[in-house]
Amino acid sequence: MIRHIPNFITSLNLLSGCLALVFVFKGDIPVFSLFVGVCLVLDFLDGFAARMLKAHSPMGKELDSLADMVAFGIVPGAILYHLFLISPPLNLVNGSFWIPVVSYFPFIVTVFSGLRLAKFNIDTRQTTSFLGLPTPAVTIFVTGLALILQYDRFNLTPFLLNSFVIGGIAMILSFLLVSEIPLFAMKFRSFDWPQNKSQYLMLMISIVLLITLQFAGIPLLVLFYIILSLLNNQFRLNREKPNTANQ
């Protein structure tokens, strides 16, 4: 019975993703954002439970990917699609036929999320870190955009609520999903500072951004995560580089 607990949590993640999707199409930003938050928590808990209970299984791995595809693949694509629909119409696209067709473009994020998840399942290089932006990070970024528009303290709506901006964001996120950019995982192996410096720094940056900028800080979290990962990787390469000066 215990071995089924992680799969039960994953199933709740899948259900939460479906409910988030329902409220995306209703245009209810606060509620679908809440369900996205639930998905993120459950996604952490199922892996944590599997490690604690030593209940890893092939079925659990496949179920986790299927749940992630809904919560962190279909949902962010649907959110961008919703933002695209409420943006000013494309002035460069004439005719009633092409405007609806172009509006489906944000679902490219969903397609590349599927590619990302499939790649992750067979890539043995990503056991302790990531290559490419994880799908939950994409969902956090996209949900943050929606929350900025809902609670716009800094008058960012005229810039963000633009068809070209939404389309550009979809393209950039799709590229990052399948890129070879090395990114650290937000998993603490211990409470030791030297082994978890990047994770602790990311937590501190997150707290500062959320306190100072509130919802506007959410997309910036993903940006700083990428920057910190690149700096961390560069420092690691510098440490591993042989000291040619003494040769």
DSSP 152-188: -SS--HHHHS-HHHHHHHHHHHHHHHTS--EEE----
| 207-214: long-range pairs with CB below 8 Å, 24+ | 213/154, 214/151, 214/153
Does residue 147 register a pLDDT over 90? yes
Unique residue bearing structure tokens 């633009």: 162
Residue-level pLDDT at 91? 53
Report the mean per-residue pLDDT for the chain: 86
What would you measure as the largest C-alpha separation in the chain, in angstroms?
Answer: 70
Q: With 60 as the cut, is the pLDDT of residue 10 above it? A: yes
pLDDT band at 68 (very low <50, low <70, confident <90, very high): very high
Average pLDDT over residues 224-239: 84
User: How far is CA 37 from each of CA 6, 26, 46, 124, 234, rounded to the nearest angstrom?
Assistant: 18, 18, 14, 28, 32
Indicate the pLDDT class of residue 245, thresholds 50, 70 and 90.
very low
Cβ–Cβ contacts within 10 Å for residue 59, how many? 11
Each domain of the chain, given as residue ranges in start order, spans 2-183
- Write down how long the chain is: 247
Q: What is the pLDDT of residue 89?
A: 66
The Cα 82–Cα 160 span in angstroms is 13
Q: What is the pLDDT of residues 103-121, one digit of tens each?
A: 899 999 999 999 999 888 8
| Pairwise CA distance, residues 177 & 68, whole Å | 14
In terms of CATH architecture, what is 2-183?
A: Up-down Bundle (1.20)
Smallest CA-to-CA distance from 6 within 40, 49, 41, 42 is with: 49
DSSP H helices, the chain, are 5-26, 29-53, 58-69, 75-85, 98-103, 108-122, 135-150, 157-160, 163-177, 197-213, 217-240
More confident residue, 34 or 185: 34
Q: Which DSSP category does 96 fall into? A: T
Single-letter amino acid, residue 227: I
- pLDDT score at 220: 94
Rounded Cα–Cα distance for residues 27 and 15 (Å): 19
pLDDT at 51: 78
Q: Would you state the pLDDT for residue 242?
A: 64
Q: Residue 119: what residue type? A: K
Query: Who has greater pLDDT, 241 or 71?
Result: 71
Q: 135 is written with which tokens? A: 């799908």
Mean pLDDT to the nearest integer, 164-193? 86
Range from 57-61, 88-92, 221-225 carrying the lowest mean pLDDT: 88-92
- Of 18-32, 71-85, 144-158, 187-201, the one with minimum mean pLDDT is 187-201
At 98 the pLDDT is 58
What is the distance between the alpha carbons of residues 11 and 190, in angstroms, rounded to a whole number? Answer: 28
Amino acid making up residue 148? I
Is there a contact between 76 and 139 (Cβ–Cβ < 8 Å)?
Answer: yes
For 239, how many CA atoms within 13 A lie in the half-sphere containing its CB? 6
